Chain A
Amino acid sequence: MRVVLAEDLHLLREGLVHLLRAHGFEVVAAVESGPELLAALVGERPDVAVVDVRLPPTFTDEGLQAALAARRRVPGLPVLVLSQHVEQLYARELLADGSGGVGYLLKDRVFNGEQFVDAVRRVAAGGTAMDPEVIARLLASNSRNEPLGRLTPREREVLELMAEGRSNAAIGQRLFLSDSAVGKHTANIFAKLGLAPSDDDNRRVLAVLAFLGSRPS
Chain B
Amino acid sequence: MTAARRTLVALGRGAALAGLALLGLAAALVMLTAALLTFLLGLVFALPPAVRLTRAVTGLARDLSGRWSGVPVDDPYLPAPSPPVPQADGWYRDGRTLYKKPTIPAFNKRWNWMIKDPATWRDLAYLLAAPVTCGLVAAAPLLTAAYGVLRLAGGDPLGVVWILLAAGVAYWYAPWALRVHGGVAAVLLGPTEKTRLARRVSHLDAARTEVVDSQAAELRRIERDLHDGAQARLVAIGMTIGAAEQLLETDPRAARALLDKARDASAAALQDIRRLVRGIHPPVLAERGLGDAVRALALDSPLRVHVTVDVPERASAPLESAAYFAVSELLANAARHGDATEAWVDVSARGPALRVTVTDDGRGGADPGRGTGLRGIERRLGAFDGVFALSSPAGGPTTAVVELPRAFPLRVAPRSPWRMLGGVCWALWPIALFPQGLVAMVLKLAGSPVRSWFLGLYMPEPFQWPVIVGMMLLGGGLLTVALTTTARAMREKESGCG
Residue in chain A with minimal CB distance to B292 = A89
Interface size on A, residues (CB 8 A): 26
Identify which of A90, A106, A141 contacts B300 (C-beta below 8 A): A141
Identify which of B270, B287, B299 contacts A61 (C-beta below 8 A): B287
Q: Interface digits, A36-54 against B, CB 8 Å rule (1 contact, 0 not)?
A: 0000000000000000011
Q: How far is the CA of A88 from the CA of B278 in the complex (A)?
A: 14
A88 touching B300 by the CB < 8 A rule?
yes
Instruction: Name the A residues within 8 Å of B299 (CB-CB).
Output: 87-89, 92, 141, 213, 215, 217
Q: Which of B267, B270, B287 has the most chain A CB atoms closer than 10 A to its own CB?
A: B287
Instruction: Name the B residues within 8 Å of A217 (CB-CB).
Output: 295, 298-299, 304-307
Identify which of B274, B288, B295, B341 contacts A144 (C-beta below 8 A): B341
Chain A nearest CB: distance from B182 CB in Å? 45
A84-B274, A87-B296, A89-B296 known; A60 vs B287 contact (CB < 8 Å): yes
Indicate whether B263 reaches chain A with its CB closer than 8 angstroms: yes
Instruction: Name the B residues within 8 Å of A60 (CB-CB).
Output: 286-288
A89 touching B270 by the CB < 8 A rule?
no
Indicate whether A85 reaches chain B with its CB closer than 8 angstroms: yes
Q: How far is the CA of A78 from the CA of B227 in the complex (A)?
A: 41
Indicate whether A108 reaches chain B with its CB closer than 8 angstroms: yes
Chain A nearest CB: distance from B142 CB in Å? 60
Chain B nearest CB: distance from A94 CB in Å? 14
Q: Which of B286, B300, B307 has the most chain A CB atoms closer than 10 A to its own CB?
A: B300
> Is chain B's interface secondary structure helix, strand, loop, or mixed overall?
helix
Indicate whether B168 reaches chain A with its CB closer than 8 angstroms: no
Q: Interface digits, B247-288 against A, CB 8 Å rule (1 contact, 0 not)?
A: 000000000000000010011001100100110000110111
Instruction: Name the B residues within 8 Å of A11 (CB-CB).
Output: none
Instruction: Name the B residues within 8 Å of A213 (CB-CB).
Output: 299
A60-B286, A61-B287, A111-B267 known; A141 vs B295 contact (CB < 8 Å): no
Identify which of B277, B283, B296 contacts A88 (C-beta below 8 A): B296
Q: Interface digits, A69-91 against B, CB 8 Å rule (1 contact, 0 not)?
A: 00000000000000011011110
Q: How far is the CA of A108 from the CA of B300 in the complex (A)?
A: 21
Indicate whether A140 reaches chain B with its CB closer than 8 angstroms: yes
B267 touching A108 by the CB < 8 A rule?
yes
B302 touching A143 by the CB < 8 A rule?
yes
Q: Interface digits, A154-188 against B, CB 8 Å rule (1 contact, 0 not)?
A: 00000000000000000000000000000000000
> Which positions 88-138 of chain A face chain B at CB distance < 8 Å?
88-90, 92, 106-108, 111-112, 137
Residue in chain B with minimal CB distance to A111 = B263
Indicate whether B301 reaches chain A with its CB closer than 8 angstroms: yes
B288 touching A61 by the CB < 8 A rule?
yes
Identify which of A85, A141, A215, A216 contacts B283 (C-beta below 8 A): A85
Q: How far is the CA of A141 from the CA of B278 in the complex (A)?
A: 17
Chain B nearest CB: distance from A184 CB in Å? 30
Identify which of A85, A89, A143, A216 contacts B278 (C-beta below 8 A): A85
Q: How far is the CA of A142 from the CA of B305 in the complex (A)?
A: 12
Identify which of B270, B298, B307 contacts A108 (C-beta below 8 A): B270
Instruction: Name the B residues within 8 Å of A88 (CB-CB).
Output: 296, 299-300
Identify which of B267, B283, B296, B298 contacts A84 (C-beta below 8 A): B283
A140 touching B267 by the CB < 8 A rule?
no
Instruction: Name the A residues within 8 Å of B263 (CB-CB).
Output: 111-112
A216 touching B292 by the CB < 8 A rule?
no
Instruction: Name the A residues within 8 Å of B307 (CB-CB).
Output: 217
Q: How far is the CA of A142 from the CA of B299 in the complex (A)?
A: 9
Chain A nearest CB: distance from B314 CB in Å? 11
B278 touching A137 by the CB < 8 A rule?
no
Q: How far is the CA of A74 from the CA of B287 in the complex (A)?
A: 25
A112-B263, A144-B302, A217-B305 known; A53 vs B341 contact (CB < 8 Å): no
Instruction: Name the B residues within 8 Å of A140 (CB-CB).
Output: 300, 302
Instruction: Name the A residues within 8 Å of B288 (CB-CB).
Output: 60-61, 89
Chain B nearest CB: distance from A115 CB in Å? 12
Q: Interface digits, B338-360 against A, CB 8 Å rule (1 contact, 0 not)?
A: 00010000000000000000000
Identify which of B267, B271, B306 contacts A216 (C-beta below 8 A): B306
A54 touching B270 by the CB < 8 A rule?
no
B304 touching A216 by the CB < 8 A rule?
yes
Instruction: Name the B residues within 8 Å of A53 (CB-CB).
Output: 287
Instruction: Name the B residues within 8 Å of A84 (CB-CB).
Output: 270, 274, 277, 283
Q: How far is the CA of A216 from the CA of B266 in the complex (A)?
A: 37
Chain A nearest CB: distance from B336 CB in Å? 12
Chain B nearest CB: distance from A85 CB in Å? 5
Instruction: Name the B residues within 8 Å of A144 (CB-CB).
Output: 302-303, 341
Chain B nearest CB: distance from A176 CB in Å? 20
Residue in chain B with minimal CB distance to A143 = B302
A141 touching B301 by the CB < 8 A rule?
yes
Q: Which of A90, A215, A217 has the most chain B CB atoms closer than 10 A to its own CB?
A: A217
B301 touching A89 by the CB < 8 A rule?
no
Instruction: Name the A residues within 8 Å of B284 (CB-CB).
Output: 85, 87, 89-90
A111 touching B296 by the CB < 8 A rule?
no
> Which positions 295-350 of chain B face chain A at CB distance < 8 Å?
295-296, 298-307, 341
Instruction: Name the A residues within 8 Å of B298 (CB-CB).
Output: 217
Instruction: Name the A residues within 8 Å of B270 (CB-CB).
Output: 84, 106-108
The 24 sampled A-B contact pairs (Cβ below 8 Å) are: A54-B283, A60-B287, A60-B288, A61-B288, A84-B270, A84-B274, A85-B283, A88-B296, A89-B284, A89-B295, A89-B296, A92-B299, A106-B270, A107-B270, A111-B266, A140-B300, A140-B302, A141-B302, A144-B302, A213-B299, A215-B304, A216-B304, A217-B305, A217-B307
Question: Which A-B residue pairs are the 6 nearest by beta carbons?
Answer: A88-B299, A60-B287, A89-B296, A61-B287, A217-B298, A85-B283
A84-B270, A87-B299 are known contacts; what are 14 more A-B pairs with Cβ within 8 Å? A54-B287, A61-B288, A84-B283, A85-B283, A87-B283, A89-B284, A89-B288, A89-B295, A111-B267, A140-B302, A141-B300, A143-B302, A144-B302, A217-B295
